[in-house]
A and B are shown apart, each in its own frame.
Chain A
């Protein structure tokens, strides 16, 4: 079974530029998550989708971050304009359903450096 796919793997941009990350979850997984992991910290949830609807985006900085999952499968996370503090790994994850005991599976992450 294929895992969660993410691209690009690495990205370096200048501040005030824009960047987009793509995620393809495990087939059949209805729930998709985007996490931000700053170096030395644990991941922080940015947004959670259930199919193509947003379940929680309370920690997404909406002035510069946006995410969509139009057809309930792939998802894109965009940052525009980027700031230095956005340098982090952006992890996409998926799970079969939304539930307390449901395991989340992660992709390898997209490493962003803003200079």
Chain B
């Protein structure tokens, strides 16, 4: 079975500052993928970034980067230079199909 834990129900960050959203997971699969999605109030789930468990380097996509620590089973999302439009729910997901975490609500303050 796979399980995702996101311990921060809500986070606040000042505009233009960086913020880290935590994600820890549990899986027995030897190979797996980790995904982060953003869900604004409109409801659509927007793919942000992907990390493969055997990737040597941490994934980066523009202002998004993953702090992947395989031994600790954590895959934290770092958002640099926060913007007001980053205010949304953020979900960590493991595996192709099944398991999303409970989410973290990020609020960016002007």
Is B43 positioned at the interface, with any CB of A under 8 Å from its CB?
Answer: yes
Classify chain B: how many residues form its interface, as a range.
20 to 34
Contact among A93, A100, A111 with B45 in the assembled complex (CB-CB below 8 Å): A93
Q: Mark A92-115, 1 if CB is under 8 A from B, else 0.
A: 010100111111111111010000
Check if B57 is an interface residue, CB within 8 A of chain A: no
Given the known interface contacts A106-B44, A106-B45, the answer about A100 and B52 at a Cβ–Cβ threshold of 8 Å is yes
**Which of B31, B47, B93, B102 is close to A41, meaning CB atoms less than 8 Å apart?**
B102
B residues in contact with A106, CB < 8 Å: 37, 44-47
Q: Chain A: how many interface residues by the 8 Å CB criterion?
A: 26
A108 touches B50 (CB 8 A): no
A104 touches B47 (CB 8 A): yes
- Asked if A48 is at the interface (CB within 8 A of a chain B CB), the reply is yes
Contacts of B71-101 to chain A: CB distance below 8 A: 91, 93, 95-98, 100-101
Residue from the list A42, A56, A95, A99 in contact with B103, Cβ < 8 A: A42
A23 to chain B, nearest CB (A): 13
